[in-house]
Amino acid sequence: MDHENSFLGRGWAFPPAFDTKSKRSMMVEEEEDIRQSLFIIISTIPGERIMNPKFGCDLTSSVFDNVDSLAVNRMKDLIRTAVLNYEPRITLHDVVVDTRDSFDGIVRITLDYTIRKINVRTNIVYPFYLKEGTNVTGM
């Protein structure tokens, strides 16, 4: 991996995984670290982290909401607030909530952002599942 952007950070891979040969945890760096950090922020329910109970984004409170403009705007606000508070390495430009598959229990959330230090604009798509028993992390 090119280490010229190493100032963007390095952290454990999400979900945590271990290399059996080196007996070390798998690590991610740079843009991938930021992408995974955003998934962690959006996937974490406030109160899950005992030492940082305000951390996260309470999207699960929207699971049983009618998918209307009020719910969409509430989701966008929850995400904007969480990213503003917990991911200082990016500038969030837009949050787009795609509700086309909401009858199937899926709402796709796209975050359009710029990595501040290197001025690279990118985006992620976070699949938020409205049905029980589905993969919430989307990773």
Name the strand (E) or helix (H) holding 37.
helix 30-43
Q: How many other CB atoms sit within 10 Å of the CB of residue 24?
A: 9
Domains detected in the chain: 3-129 (3.10.450.40)
Note the pLDDT of residue 30: 78
Note the pLDDT of residue 45: 95
Contact of 12 with 34, CB cutoff 8 Å: no
Burial label, 13 (beta-carbon count in 10 A; 0-12, 13-18, 19+) = middle
**pLDDT (tens place) for every residue of the chain, 139 residues total:** 445 545 556 777 777 888 888 888 888 877 888 899 999 999 999 999 999 999 999 998 888 888 899 999 999 999 999 999 999 999 999 999 999 998 888 999 999 999 988 777 888 888 888 765 545 444 4
Note the pLDDT of residue 24: 86
Query: Quick check: helix, strand or coil at residue 3?
Result: helix
Note the pLDDT of residue 1: 44
Who's near 130: CB < 8 A, 6+ residues apart?
63, 67, 102, 105, 106, 107
Note the pLDDT of residue 136: 45
